[in-house]
Structure 1
Amino acid sequence: MTKRIVVLGLGRIGGAIAQILNRHDGYDVTGADINPTAVAHFSEQFKTELLPNTSPETRDYGALLTGQDAVISALTFNDNPYVAQAALDHGCSYFDLTEDVRCTQAIKEIALAAAPGQVFMPQCGLAPGFIGILGYSFRHRFDRLDTLKLRVGALPEYPSNQMMYNLTWSTEGLINEYANPCESIKNHIPTLTEPLEGREVFSISGVEYEAFNTSGGLANLCYSLDGELRELTYKTIRYPGHCKLMKFLFHDLRLGEEGKRRDMLMEIFESSVATTMQDLVLISVVATGYVDDRLKQCSRTFLLRHTAEQSAIQISTASAAVTTVDLILNGRESRQGFVEQETLNIDEFLANDFAKAYRDAELSI
């Protein structure tokens, strides 16, 4: 049965999501954006609508969402609670790509009033998203899980500046994860840690990387794994040297403070740091736990690369989001209200038609 779905936001990620779904016979896609250029660009591929360029709280999504099975929001996290409320009011399921913890909490509250079969699943995509599904799956590998280390990085393939970094996705989202408190579990207790701290260095396939605390990547894992392990951390992967420069900007110059300073930092990044489509996405989960009272370690690593047409962050985020939506909308299990990412089965995820990029990306190391 064909599913009717709306994709809000036709930027790099939202546009890729809409295109993937539109190529599948099981979906009838409508894309919408406030940008007339984006709407015109996709108008010959699938149905498009131009959204009014008003403030998020006054924008009316009623006509667009009526009769739809689901909406995927690729808008900013500030818009998402309003979209989720509109989805609730018009009886369709809701998915988004946010990494913002406060936004997700607001959507959890909205989801309490969901009708039977109406699902609310924020934080789809890569991290949060796929990384949570992968990380949660490791609990089945041990009699007792001890530590879980989740590491994800979207990196330029050819870094050429002192930051060893190029912009590959949302600048606002990047600053958000570098500036906001980070959830973790330490000594069995859920806690908050400081962003840009906890730096570590490691290598994969002969390439050296660093990783450090960032916000938002764990989604609901601190709650779903509370009481089940000693330590849970999420860190962002970069090339060595990046963290030191970010600490100078965010801490010494205080540009991570909310308000005008953070706006200034976003303007600096967007005017001075080049974007690139030539990127790669590195995903690593390392777990330790006990099997027959012996401490053991196991891991899984994925490396996704850009193509001539799409960046690795587009591929990884869009294909993970679409796989998640497809598993929920066409799953055998009926769900209602807020649904945690990690409840999806990793084997079913990787076997899904939309997850080929991930199947092809797993490394044997």
Structure 2
Amino acid sequence: MKAIIIGCGPMGQAAAIEMLRDKDLEEVSILDVDSSKLEAAKSKLKDERLKTTQMNVEKTEELMKIVSKYDCAIIALPHKLVVKVDETCIDAGVNTVDLAYEPEQLELNGRAEDRGVMLIPGCGVAPGLSNILARYGSYRMSKVDAIKIRVGGIPLNPKPPLDYGLFFSLESVINEYTRPARIIMDGRMMHVPALSGLEIIEVPELGTLECFYTDGLSTLPHTMGNVREMWEKTIRWPGHAEKMMTLRELGFFEKTGVKIGELEVKPVDLTIKMLKEKLKEEEDVIVLIVEVIGYMGDVYVEAKYKLIDYYDRELKVTAMGRTTGYTAALIAKMIMKGKVRGKGVIPPENLLTKEGIEELFKELWNRGIRIDEEVVYKKTSW
């Protein structure tokens, strides 16, 4: 078995670490445009089965020739690149697990079916593990009434002014803060502004945090949308949302160019450049809390799942990388070993059986990623 990882950022490298744990894999290849990242990965991972290729993924024909040699592809790229790369992997006849979700991926279903391969979109921690937990919670009840997801990667030791760090693509972060969020309220789909719905929560392990609406439900409205309420909120240290809202309202996230003398600059490009210079890759913690609420007959059921994971100092892997990259790689290995079969675009919440989900949880547990479950049953009056 041979696998290729497209993208050599923190998530791609974490996926490579997980793939290389499996002695059945003959080769794990990482492909990226940045040769320095590839050299760093080779130096860090030190495994003769690891191969690297330096190239631009937008060279479609060349990419297809490379990808076609592998049994499975993991895509760990910025959102703006993923749909075209997904198309290329499908056309190459390769099962594909993508960390990112974009609505256009759903349009590739017929293409993937025709090629007899799977595309698993949004298959990281959130979206991804959050969706899988929503599905797992639904097995505790006959009718789901609400799905509430709170999730975020934050610095373990926050520093002003933003109390944030470089954990994944800043382009993706800014998209989260600007794109209207899809939520379901009173059984009706609606769009609300990102950063709205601010809520203060207490997490005993970390203290006081805040969370706010972002568009992170990915495929859940399509697969589990027959509910009264469904939403995702992003977790941050208190005060972060107000600062981001200020930057947004002042136009720092705008993609339309503005003239400065003879030079035209997109404010968002300048903002990303400045943030990359000021923010650092540092030790992080990720918090994922999923609540699934419903009924089993006349019994009210609330299933709550909590995952808190920390930076791995030994392997120097972020919590975001562990929960995202390891999850994607474990699912990719299940596909390669024939434990998961299918074709077309398959959301992560529809991919695994209950037993398959429990196998995934067990593998994550073996890597120190613990998911705690609490289920409450209450007899109703009707």
**1:286, distance to aligned residue in structure 2 (A):** 1.8
Matched, 1:234 2:193: no
For residues 93 and 136 of structure 1, do their structure 2 counterparts lie closer, same or farther at Cα, with a shift above 3 Å needed? same
Matched, 1:254 2:251: yes
CA separation in 2, counterparts of 1:258 and 1:293? 51
CA separation in 2, counterparts of 1:225 and 1:274? 37
CA separation in 2, counterparts of 1:197 and 1:319? 31
CA separation in 1, counterparts of 2:121 and 2:303? 29
Q: Which amino acid aligns with 1:197?
A: S
Counterpart residue number, 2:182: 183
Counterpart residue number, 1:165: 164
Deviations 1:258-304 (A, max 9, x none): 3412222212211222331x111111012322234344433111110
For residues 348 and 197 of structure 1, do their structure 2 counterparts lie closer, same or farther at Cα, with a shift above 3 Å needed? same
Counterpart residue number, 2:109: 111
**1:57, distance to aligned residue in structure 2 (A):** 5.5
Tell me if structure 2 keeps the 8 A contact 1:210–1:240.
Answer: yes
TM-score (norm 2): 0.85
Counterpart residue number, 1:355: 364
Q: Which amino acid aligns with 1:272?
A: K
CA separation in 1, counterparts of 2:319 and 2:109? 32
CA separation in 2, counterparts of 1:142 and 1:97? 29
For residues 126 and 254 of structure 1, do their structure 2 counterparts lie closer, same or farther at Cα, with a shift above 3 Å needed? same
Q: Which runs of 5 or more residues in structure 2 are unaligned?
A: 257-265, 375-382
Deviations 1:95-117 (A, max 9, x none): 21114xxxx33332233122464
Counterpart residue number, 1:78: 80
Number of residue equivalences: 354
Matched, 1:224 2:229: no
Q: Which amino acid aligns with 1:84?
A: D
Q: Which amino acid aligns with 2:244?
A: M
**1:58, distance to aligned residue in structure 2 (A):** 5.2
Question: Which of 302, 307, 312 is the equivalent residue of 1:307?
Answer: 312
**What is the SS of the residue equivalent to 1:120?**
strand
TM-score (norm 1): 0.89
Within-5 A mapping of 1:39-188:
39-43=38-42, 45=47, 46-53=49-56, 56=58, 60-99=62-101, 104-114=102-112, 115=114, 117-188=116-187
CA separation in 2, counterparts of 1:336 and 1:91? 11
Deviations 1:57-82 (A, max 9, x none): 55621331123211111122222222
CA separation in 2, counterparts of 1:200 and 1:358? 32
Counterpart residue number, 1:330: 337
Q: Which amino acid aligns with 2:214?
A: T
CA separation in 2, counterparts of 1:243 and 1:338? 34
Q: Which amino acid aligns with 2:241?
A: C
Percent sequence identity over aligned pairs: 24
**1:238, distance to aligned residue in structure 2 (A):** 0.9
For residues 109 and 311 of structure 1, do their structure 2 counterparts lie closer, same or farther at Cα, with a shift above 3 Å needed? same
Matched, 1:14 2:9: no
Deviation larger for 176-185 or 43-52: 43-52
**1:356, distance to aligned residue in structure 2 (A):** 2.7
Tell me if structure 2 keeps the 8 A contact 1:166–1:275.
Answer: yes
For residues 161 and 350 of structure 1, do their structure 2 counterparts lie closer, same or farther at Cα, with a shift above 3 Å needed? farther
Counterpart residue number, 1:263: 269
For residues 358 and 346 of structure 1, do their structure 2 counterparts lie closer, same or farther at Cα, with a shift above 3 Å needed? farther
Q: Which runs of 5 or more residues in structure 1 are unaligned?
A: none
Counterpart residue number, 1:274: 280
Deviations 1:91-139 (A, max 9, x none): 111121114xxxx333322331224641011211111110110012222
Deviation larger for 33-42 or 278-287: 33-42
**1:230, distance to aligned residue in structure 2 (A):** 0.1
**What is the SS of the residue equivalent to 1:26?**
coil
**What is the SS of the residue equivalent to 2:168?**
coil
For residues 82 and 338 of structure 1, do their structure 2 counterparts lie closer, same or farther at Cα, with a shift above 3 Å needed? same
Counterpart residue number, 2:346: 339
Within-5 A mapping of 1:201-220:
201-205=200-204, 207-215=207-215, 217-220=216-219
Tell me if structure 2 keeps the 8 A contact 1:181–1:194.
Answer: yes
For residues 56 and 295 of structure 1, do their structure 2 counterparts lie closer, same or farther at Cα, with a shift above 3 Å needed? same
Tell me if structure 2 keeps the 8 A contact 1:327–1:349.
Answer: no
CA separation in 1, counterparts of 2:125 and 2:221? 17
Report the aligned-residue RMSD.
2.3
